[in-house]
Structure 1
Amino acid sequence: MTDVLVPSTTRGDAASARPSTAVARDSSVDVIRVVLLVVVFALHAMMVGVSLGPSGPVLENALEGQSWFAAVSWFVQIMPLFFIAGGFSSLHHWRSMRSRGASSADYVRARVERLVRPAIVLVSVVAAALVALSLGGLPPELVATAGFRIGQPLWFLGVYLATSALVPFMVRAHERARVSTPLALLAGVVAVDVLRFSTGVDGIGLLNLLLVWLLVQQLGFHLADGGFDRFSPTALWSIAGGALVLLAAITLAGPYSADMYVNLNPPTVCLVVLGAAQLALFQLARPRIRAWTRRTDASRLVSAVGERAMTIYLWHMPVLVALAGALLVANAGFGLALPEPMTVGWWASRPLWLGLAAAAVAGVTIVFARFERGRRADAPAAASVATGRGAAALDAICGVAGVAVVLISGFGPVQAVISLALLTVALRGSATIRASFARRSATTDRTRSVRVAPRPVGFPRG
């Protein structure tokens, strides 16, 4: 769920007590993150195409190359809003930790631990399964395709690790230069795009894997600070409409593709413009979302999904690939029909496919969610170490590198070993932070309780 800081005072001393930091929830952000996760799952499920070709089984992206998908991508490319919501919660999370005496290294290591732990399990299980399939005689090209499809969504984990590690620095920049920070990032994004298109070297665009998402994260900071609460509905509609008009201009008459998923790899300024439109529309919808949550009492379900969001994200693609393989086995075993993607029969089978996939993902999530949640907050860590910035930065770098290895090279045995080694280094470094931070926080609380003694009733004011 999304943490929001709210001032609170002790009853009976509200007039004189200093505000303290308490944790509340913003149901609109919690709900939209769950909705976005469902969209990602449904889109990837619709991409699964399983059929039989002249040379054997075919596992393909059924939506790739479809002329109509560019228009649809404007509605289902939701990663900008995902990072906006992430920026919202990250700002409040970091400020909450900072108010309790945590350092930036504490925050980075806490985020690394939360994100790396489920990734280690994923890499271990997927690599072992693919090796077993290879030894069982499955064609190497089919194993390679499965590994590639499973690894594709991992880009998000790598980028999210990097942007999370930079949250303390980016929040400081936000607090000191609220306008110039996003403008500087925007200038960098545009410069990378210009250099990429003018030279024809697509690799230059990889710089925007960081710049684009850090800029979108800044929009989340402004949302969290109430910067968009001052806008009237008319102004928000104008922002959304203007952003979409600009997006149409630079895609239909400019150098950018109209397909927002083409603009994802590598990211371009189109995603920033789309993110601005999504943010304005979300701000318009927030009161209604909050009202719906209260009316339906959906907070418990939203919380349950939110606490398992990374597990769902990481495991939904392996589940989809496994189900695709099960369809091929069923076809070979008892002649289950495999309709050609985009045919009438294929579309008619999609509701059943989506239901089956959702049930399977839910089951796998129940099994693996424990690794995302980790130990209880009051459980002791293995050891206590100094929490220097350099060590925390190394943990984050190892985490990102561990994800990048399988993302770029696949889940082969050697790649998996390298990835697991890097992820383990990141996890062991971050796992030691909990106990030291808990002790420091407890010491701070005791010190405050001694220094700020309650005023007796009727004590005269100076």
Structure 2
Amino acid sequence: MTVATAAPAASALRPRGRDRAVDLVRAACILGVVVLHAMMVGVAVPDGAPSFVNASDGTWWIVPLSWVLQVMPLFFVIGGFSAATAYRRSRERGSDAIAFVAGRVHRLLRPAIVTIGVVGLLLAVLATAGVPADLVSLAGFRFSQPLWFLGVFLVCQALVPALLRCHERAPLLTIGLLAAAAAGIDAARLVSGVDALGFLNLAFVWLALQQLGFFLADGRIDALSRRTRVIAAVGAVAGLAASFVSGIHSPDLVANINPPTTALLLVGVAHTALFTLLREPIARFADRRAVSSFTDFVTPRAMTVYLWHMPVLLSLAGVTAVWGLSTGLPLPAIGGPAWWLTRPAWLALALAATAAVAITAARIEAAAPPAPTGSPRRVTLAVLAGTSAVALLLVVGTTVATAAIAVALLAGALRIASLPVPARVGVGQRIGGSFVDGVQVPAPVAP
């Protein structure tokens, strides 16, 4: 039996409801991102002036921590699994690719437009209050850094219909070409010494990992023998170790994300193999009441938590600096014993504050999307506008001006991804298409 023919039998056994193991892993990935970024927050007040630094720079502990908390490869695999499952179900209901992509645009960009708008206003308040311009600029820069995920994930999800068709026709060839392209970019960057070439892998690395999620959705990976999956996991880890020793990749897996490297592909393979090997115990664990409550809280708020955790961390860092300056009490030296002793309390505060903000802000993410456009051109423009907004903030940084421009681009993306609002006409008047209760219903848009 070939891998291709084994897939239907395996996927036929897969329940059509939500996969609790997948939901738990997705929620755990979001938690891992928040914890990792919270650990990087360093605040000091040397000579009576606030200083905000990356606490992990030049430290030994970021390497083992990155091995545990570098979860973005697995997140993209899970994203591919969920997107393939959702798109196939929408096709069964008679929906099309344009509606699917338009829905993804709204799901991702609606919470983003609010977060970016609020951050822009807060930066304006800080500048007006007399906060030094370099600190305001640093806050905007730190907020922008995690937004790479929003832009890349939007593009990856927009390509799901096309790449899923390629997967269904030639699964191994499609993922092989993406992985080979990622490896080629890595090789070109190493040989030329031009690190900027690596940013081409913002496409190939993450698309290859999403494509791996399609195999997971098919049941193809679960259909492999346990021995094969163990060999895949061990081989991926061995490949990572060899790349560290040879100097191809940094042992700090966080460093391998900017720009993305093929080390992330190996991480994704290892995590995916381990997930399928442990899927049944993970599913049983997910059914426990406390674990289920955690999953149910994060799942509908995943994008909201991701978007808001950095503003929350920046706000907590600012409050810490103000407290140190106003009381005159010394803050724990970054990386020192007192600093480590305070990390559990700091992490608990960061998680609680992020959850509190998410409870309120998630109403936007949970709102039902408007009717999607039926125009391929409009949905393409929506994706381009959304990606451009994120790229602007990443390249220039978040300022009051760039936040305003980004909000305008995101608003435009959301508008053109929706079905145009019909114009009101008088009763009995006909302009085109049909009309109901005096409201024109536009004629169908040709693909």
Structure-2 separation of matches of 1:272 and 1:133: 41
Structure-1 separation of matches of 2:375 and 2:338: 59
**Residue 391 (structure 1) aligned to one of 378, 389, 414:** 378
Quote the residue 1:152 is aligned against.
145
Structure-1 separation of matches of 2:190 and 2:420: 44
**Residue 404 (structure 2) aligned to one of 417, 434, 440:** 417
CA deviations over 1:121-157 (Å, ceiling 9, x no partner)? 0111001101110111111111111111111111111
Quote the residue 2:46 is aligned against.
53
Q: TM-score, normalised by structure 2?
A: 0.88
Asked whether 1:70 is paired with 2:44, we answer: no
How far off is 1:293 after superposition?
Answer: 2.4
Corresponding residue SS for 1:432: coil
**Residue 91 (structure 2) aligned to one of 84, 88, 98:** 98
Quote the residue 2:415 is aligned against.
428
Structure-1 separation of matches of 2:349 and 2:367: 28
Structure-2 separation of matches of 1:434 and 1:106: 16
Any conservation in 1 of the 2:147–2:394 contact (CA below 8 Å)?
A: yes
Taking the TM superposition and a 5 Å limit, the aligned residue runs for 1:352-431 are 352-375=345-368, 381=370, 387-431=374-418
How far off is 1:195 after superposition?
Answer: 1.4
Asked whether 1:228 is paired with 2:221, we answer: yes
**Residue 207 (structure 1) aligned to one of 200, 218, 230:** 200
Structure-2 separation of matches of 1:70 and 1:289: 26
Asked whether 1:217 is paired with 2:207, we answer: no
**Residue 162 (structure 1) aligned to one of 145, 155, 158:** 155
Return closer, same or farther for 1:356/1:71 CA change in 2, 3 Å cut-off.
closer
Structure-1 separation of matches of 2:362 and 2:124: 24
Structure 1 counterpart of 2:111, one-letter code: P
Taking the TM superposition and a 5 Å limit, the aligned residue runs for 1:63-462 are 63-296=56-289, 298-375=291-368, 381=370, 387-432=374-419
Corresponding residue SS for 1:173: helix
Corresponding residue SS for 2:67: helix
Corresponding residue SS for 2:331: coil
Any conservation in 2 of the 1:117–1:427 contact (CA below 8 Å)?
A: yes
Structure-1 separation of matches of 2:220 and 2:378: 34
Q: TM-score, normalised by structure 1?
A: 0.85
How far off is 1:102 after superposition?
Answer: 1.4
CA deviations over 1:72-110 (Å, ceiling 9, x no partner)? 322221110010010000001111111112121111110
Any conservation in 1 of the 2:373–2:379 contact (CA below 8 Å)?
A: no
Structure-2 separation of matches of 1:247 and 1:283: 20
Any conservation in 2 of the 1:110–1:433 contact (CA below 8 Å)?
A: no
Any conservation in 2 of the 1:387–1:433 contact (CA below 8 Å)?
A: no
Structure 2 counterpart of 1:32, one-letter code: V
Structure-2 separation of matches of 1:198 and 1:73: 26
CA deviations over 1:8-36 (Å, ceiling 9, x no partner)? xxxxxxxxxxx9x9941111100001111
More deviation, 149-158/72-81: 72-81
Structure-1 separation of matches of 2:350 and 2:180: 42
Corresponding residue SS for 2:127: helix
How far off is 1:295 after superposition?
Answer: 4.4
Structure 2 counterpart of 1:182, one-letter code: I
Return closer, same or farther for 1:333/1:223 CA change in 2, 3 Å cut-off.
same
Any conservation in 2 of the 1:109–1:433 contact (CA below 8 Å)?
A: no
Any conservation in 2 of the 1:94–1:107 contact (CA below 8 Å)?
A: yes
Structure-2 separation of matches of 1:121 and 1:336: 36
Aligned pair count reads 412
Return closer, same or farther for 1:166/1:76 CA change in 2, 3 Å cut-off.
same
Return closer, same or farther for 1:336/1:53 CA change in 2, 3 Å cut-off.
closer
Return closer, same or farther for 1:433/1:239 CA change in 2, 3 Å cut-off.
farther
Structure 1 counterpart of 2:381, one-letter code: L
Structure-1 separation of matches of 2:340 and 2:55: 11
Root mean square deviation of aligned Cα: 2.2
Gaps of at least 5 residues in structure 1 are 1-5, 8-18, 436-462
Corresponding residue SS for 1:49: strand
Return closer, same or farther for 1:22/1:396 CA change in 2, 3 Å cut-off.
farther
Structure-2 separation of matches of 1:44 and 1:132: 24
Return closer, same or farther for 1:424/1:386 CA change in 2, 3 Å cut-off.
closer
Structure 2 counterpart of 1:430, one-letter code: A
More deviation, 325-334/270-279: 325-334
Return closer, same or farther for 1:311/1:410 CA change in 2, 3 Å cut-off.
same
Return closer, same or farther for 1:112/1:327 CA change in 2, 3 Å cut-off.
same
Structure-1 separation of matches of 2:73 and 2:181: 17
Any conservation in 1 of the 2:372–2:417 contact (CA below 8 Å)?
A: no
Any conservation in 2 of the 1:228–1:283 contact (CA below 8 Å)?
A: yes
How far off is 1:431 after superposition?
Answer: 3.5
Structure-1 separation of matches of 2:84 and 2:373: 24
Structure-2 separation of matches of 1:47 and 1:313: 16
Corresponding residue SS for 1:89: helix
Return closer, same or farther for 1:217/1:125 CA change in 2, 3 Å cut-off.
same
Any conservation in 1 of the 2:378–2:417 contact (CA below 8 Å)?
A: no
